[in-house]
Amino acid sequence: MLKSRLKSVPLAALAGLAALLLAPAWALATNGLGHALPGQIGLQEAASPIARELHTFYDLTNIVIIAIAIFVLILMLYVMFRFNEKRNPTPSTVTHHTLLEVAWTVIPILVLVVIAIPSFKLLMNQYTYPKPDLTIKAIGNAWFWEHEYPDHGNFTVTTNMLSDEEVAERVAKGIPSPRLLSVDNEIVVPVNKVVHVLVTSNDVIHNWTIPSFASKTDAVPGRITATWFQAEKEGVFYGQCSELCGLNHAFMPIAIRVVSEGVFNEWAGAMQAKDKKKAKEILDKVALEQAGIKAVAQSGAPEAQ
Ligand SMILES: [Cu+2]
C-alpha cells in the first residue's frame, strides 16, 4: 500500500513541476517582436534563421536542465524519506556497484553529446557567412554608433538615443518608440536579404547586438569583427551596446528598420544624394505603416487602418 502510494508521488510531482516551470516560458516566448517587454520570460521573438535555430537549442537545453533538476530532487526526497535513521537504522555497507558506476558515467556523457551536436551545428551556422546582399560597417563610439554603407556610396548613419521628450513627440505622432531604445537615425536594411555587419570601434570596446537576429560581436578598436543576419520580418529591431564601455554605456542603442527592397532603395538613394529630410520622411512613413497606421499623403493626417 505504502509502496504504490510512493510510486505515484514522484510522477505527480514531476508533472506538476514541469507544468509550473515550462508553461510561463513557452506562453510568453512569442512576446516582444524587436524588443523585450516588461515581465517577459524567455527570449525575444526570433526574426532570422539563426535566431530560430538558437531558440530551438535554448528550448532543448532547458528541457534537459529541468529534467535533471527534477530527477535529482526526486532522488534526494526519496533518500531522505526511505533511508533516514528511523526507517533504516542499520545502513548498508556496500561501497561499489559496477553497473551503477558505469551508468552514472555513461548517461551524463550521452546527455552532453545530445547537447553538443546541435550546439556545434549552431556555432558552425553562425560563423558560416553566406554571400552578402548588403554590407554595413558598424563603428562604436563613446557613446553612440555610426553605420557606413560601403555598397551605396559610403554614406554614414549616425545614431543617437532619443530623449524622453523626443520619444513622447514620436509617440504622439503614432510611431511606437520604446524609451531608451529609440534613436534619431535608424539603420535601414531590406527584408530577406543577407546582411554582413563589419564591426569596429573608435575608442574602447563596445558590443554590437540585435537579440532578435541572434547577432552579437565585440567592437574592438583597431580590429574588424563580423556578424551576419537575414531579417525575415519587416519592422524595427532593437539592440543595446553589450560590453561595459563607460559612463553612457546604457544609452547607445542600435535600431534596425527592416523594410521592403523598394523602400530600402528609395531611402539609400536619398541618403546617397545627402537628402536627409527626404530619407527621414521615407522612414517616418514606413514606421507609421508598420505600426498599422496608414499615413494619408494628401491631408498629412494619420488614419487608422
Ligand atoms: Cu558601448
- Answer yes or no: are the C-beta atoms of 250 and 170 closer than 8 Å: no
Q: How far is ligand 1, taken at its centre, from the CA of residue 37, in Å? A: 22
pLDDT band of residue 22 (cuts 50, 70, 90) is low
At residue 88, φ and ψ (nearest 5 deg) are -135, 70
The full set of domain ranges for the chain reads 2-126, 134-294
Nearest CA to 137 out of 154, 161, 120, 160 is that of 154
- Whether the full predicted model's pTM is greater than 0.75, yes or no, is yes
User: What percent of the chain has pLDDT above 90?
Assistant: 76
pLDDT of residue 186: 94
Select from 2.60.40.420, 3.30.70.20, 2.40.50.140, 3.65.10.10 the CATH code of 134-294: 2.60.40.420
CA of residue 44 relative to chain centroid, distance: 5
Tens digits of residue pLDDT in 121-145: 999 999 999 999 999 999 999 999 9
**Taking residues 152-159, what's their average pLDDT?**
94
To which residue does cell 529541468 refer?
66
SS3 state of residue 45: coil
Angle between helices 98-126 and 49-82 (to 10 degrees): 160
pLDDT of residue 18: 53
Q: How far is ligand 1, taken at its centre, from the CA of residue 148, in Å? A: 17
Q: How far is ligand 1, taken at its centre, from the CA of residue 159, in Å? A: 13
Tens digits of residue pLDDT in 266-290: 999 999 999 999 999 999 999 988 8
Q: How far is ligand 1, taken at its centre, from the CA of residue 209, in Å? A: 11
pLDDT of residue 14: 52
Residue 200 has pLDDT above 50, yes or no: yes
Note whether 2-126 and 134-294 share their fold: no
Distance CA 134, CA 192 (A): 11
CB-count burial class (<10 Å; 0-12, 13-18, 19+) for 115: middle
SS3 state of residue 225: strand
pLDDT of residue 80: 95
To which residue does cell 558598424 refer?
138
Q: How far is ligand 1, taken at its centre, from the CA of residue 128, in Å? A: 26
What's the topology of domain 2-126?
Answer: Helix Hairpins (1.10.287)
**Taking residues 146-162, what's their average pLDDT?**
95
Distance CA 159, CA 162 (A): 9
pLDDT of residue 41: 84
Residue 10 has pLDDT above 60, yes or no: no
CA of residue 171 relative to chain centroid, distance: 25
**Taking residues 149-175, what's their average pLDDT?**
93
